[in-house]
């Protein structure tokens, strides 16, 4: 299903301070063909089982990792799984997939489209970075026998373009800041577009809390929340004293989403040096997190993710860019897995408040959009056939 959203005229719309992905394109990826997903600060992908919600989030994560400079083999360990079903090889026995996105930011909308060959060998065979109707970078595979693509980027000087070979196992856009000197106005435009794209893509935190790993006490460590949230107790122990205001919001969120009274969320160091988390019930009873249900644990972990940031989550932000000019994107497949209707609604409301402030964006997949459709601040992308 093709989805799109109307764009406000650039002349009257204030440019975002923080670059963000506003559209994800799945031209040919896994179960998707010619799909366009409009993305806002808070986007929920809905649809029945098998509609491709997971693969849509996987495509976003792949673009994010490529934007951060990762190689194709690392990003696509099983590239054949990304090739659309029934896709037939061409005369050279090649099959592949195509994904892309649009990022809006201070420089205006910037578009990136990537074509990847999965068979017989994994490589980038085409890439285009464009803005304002102008192609700023274009790559193409000219010689299948060499591990390079021919790249051409806009110069605007005495020569309209610069042509050089680039590796075929990396995203050319991510390499541009190292290759373009920025001597001409055209080159500076290329650099600005590439940097805006990379900045919007690279700060991504993939979150899928595992209730079983959250229950057990954990040793003290870095204090950065892992993807499965297994070190949740340690992160609670660290963050409680760092920001009392945010921690109070966490306690309020837990109170709204967990059964029984909750007056506080605590973490304590045990005699063996490990840390466990507890809910203070306010009457002298403290409930270890290990006694909570799976839905309660996932709800608590996701609330903590939304209320923290790059300094707490296990993510690599752009250290060279001030925090005020970047945002973190949380990817949460199965956002409502194990949650009841009340917990899902509370979590979405919390996400809407945090995303409105601009420091975090959320792209999540939910099994039932009926309980979130119409919620203020939520963009719903429906993959129902």
Average pLDDT, integer, range 39-65: 95
CA 166 to chain centre: 26
Which CATH number is 215-317+330-369's, of 3.30.1760, 3.40.50, 3.90.1340, 1.10.3470? Answer: 3.40.50
Q: Is 331 exposed, middle or buried (0-12, 13-18, 19+ CB in 10 A)?
A: buried
Per-residue pLDDT band at 311 (split at 50, 70, 90): confident
Neighbours of 29 (CB within 10 A): 25
Average pLDDT, integer, range 12-40: 90
Residue 266 has pLDDT above 60, yes or no: yes
For 20-204, CATH gives: 3.40.50
Of 19-23, 33-37, 155-159, 328-332, minimum mean pLDDT range = 155-159
Supply the DSSP string of 290-341, one letter for each residue. Answer: GGS-HHHHHHHHHHHHHHS-TTTBS----TTS-GGG--EEEEETTTTTT--H
Per-residue pLDDT band at 149 (split at 50, 70, 90): very high
Residue 316 has pLDDT above 80, yes or no: no
**Helix or strand run (H / E) with residue 176:** helix 172-179
| ∠ CA 270-272-277, rounded to 5° | 30
**Residue 103 or 370, more confident:** 103
Between CA 280 and CA 286 the distance in angstroms is: 5
Average pLDDT, integer, range 78-103: 93
Q: What is the predicted pLDDT for the residue at 315?
A: 66
Per-residue pLDDT band at 331 (split at 50, 70, 90): very high
Contact status, residue 306 vs residue 362, Cβ threshold 8 Å: yes
Please state the domain extents for the chain.
Answer: 20-204, 215-317+330-369
| Mean pLDDT for all residues in the chain | 89
Q: What is the predicted pLDDT for the residue at 182?
A: 85
For 368, half-sphere exposure in the C-beta direction (CA atoms, 13 angstrom radius) is 11
Residue 323 has pLDDT above 70, yes or no: no
Per-residue pLDDT band at 322 (split at 50, 70, 90): low
Average pLDDT, integer, range 279-283: 94
Q: What is the predicted pLDDT for the residue at 2?
A: 33
Average pLDDT, integer, range 298-311: 89
Full 3-state SS string of 84-127: CCCCCCCCCCCEEEEEEEEEECCCCCEEEEEEEEEECCCEEEEE
Beta bridge partners of 124: 116
Per-residue pLDDT band at 201 (split at 50, 70, 90): very high
Between CA 228 and CA 208 the distance in angstroms is: 5
The token pair that represents 76 in the structure block: 């696509």
211-217's contacts with Cβ under 8 Å and 24+ in sequence apart are 211/293, 211/294, 211/297, 211/298, 211/338, 214/289, 214/297, 214/301, 215/289, 215/290, 215/292, 215/297, 216/290, 217/270, 217/272, 217/274, 217/275, 217/276
pTM of the model as a whole: 0.91
pLDDT, tens only, 35-44? 999 999 999 9
**Residue 23 or 90, more confident:** 23
């Amino acid at each position: 299903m093709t989805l799109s959203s109307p764009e406000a005229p650039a002349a009257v719309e204030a440019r975002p301070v923080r670059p963000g992905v506003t559209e994800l394109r799945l031209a040919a990826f896994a179960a998707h063909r010619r799909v366009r997903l409009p993305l806002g600060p808070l986007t929920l992908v809905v649809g029945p089982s098998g509609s491709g919600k997971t693969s849509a989030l996987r495509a976003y994560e792949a673009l994010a990792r490529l934007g951060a400079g990762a190689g194709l083999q690392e990003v696509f360990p099983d590239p054949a799984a990304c090739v659309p079903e029934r896709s037939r090889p061409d005369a050279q026995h090649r099959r592949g997939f195509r994904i892309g996105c649009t990022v809006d930011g201070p420089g205006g909308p910037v578009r990136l489209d990537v074509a990847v060959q999965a068979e017989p060998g994994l490589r980038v065979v085409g890439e285009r970075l464009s803005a304002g109707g102008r192609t700023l970078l274009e790559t193409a595979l000219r010689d299948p026998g060499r591990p390079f693509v021919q790249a051409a980027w806009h110069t605007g000087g005495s020569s309209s373009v610069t042509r050089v070979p680039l590796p075929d196992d990396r995203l050319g856009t991510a390499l541009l800041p190292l290759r373009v000197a920025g001597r001409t106005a055209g080159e500076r435009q290329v650099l600005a577009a590439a940097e805006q794209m990379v900045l919007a893509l690279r700060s991504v935190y993939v979150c899928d809390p595992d209730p079983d790993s959250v229950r057990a006490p954990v040793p003290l460590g870095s204090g950065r929340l892992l993807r499965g949230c297994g070190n949740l107790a340690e992160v609670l122990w660290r963050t409680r004293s760092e920001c009392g205001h945010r921690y109070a919001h966490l306690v309020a969120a837990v109170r709204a989403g967990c059964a029984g009274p909750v007056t506080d969320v605590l973490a304590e160091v045990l005699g063996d040096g490990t840390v466990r988390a507890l809910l203070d019930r306010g009457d002298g009873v403290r409930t270890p997190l290990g006694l909570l249900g799976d839905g309660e644990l996932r709800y608590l972990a996701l609330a903590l993710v939304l209320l923290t940031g790059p300094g707490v989550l296990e993510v690599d932000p752009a250290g060279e860019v001030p925090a005020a000019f970047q945002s973190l994107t949380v990817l949460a497949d199965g956002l409502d897995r194990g949650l009841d209707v009340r917990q899902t609604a509370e979590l979405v409301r919390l996400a809407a408040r945090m995303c409105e402030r601009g420091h975090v964006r959320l792209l999540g997949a939910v099994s039932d959009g009926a309980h979130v459709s119409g919620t203020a601040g939520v963009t719903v992308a429906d993959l129902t056939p």
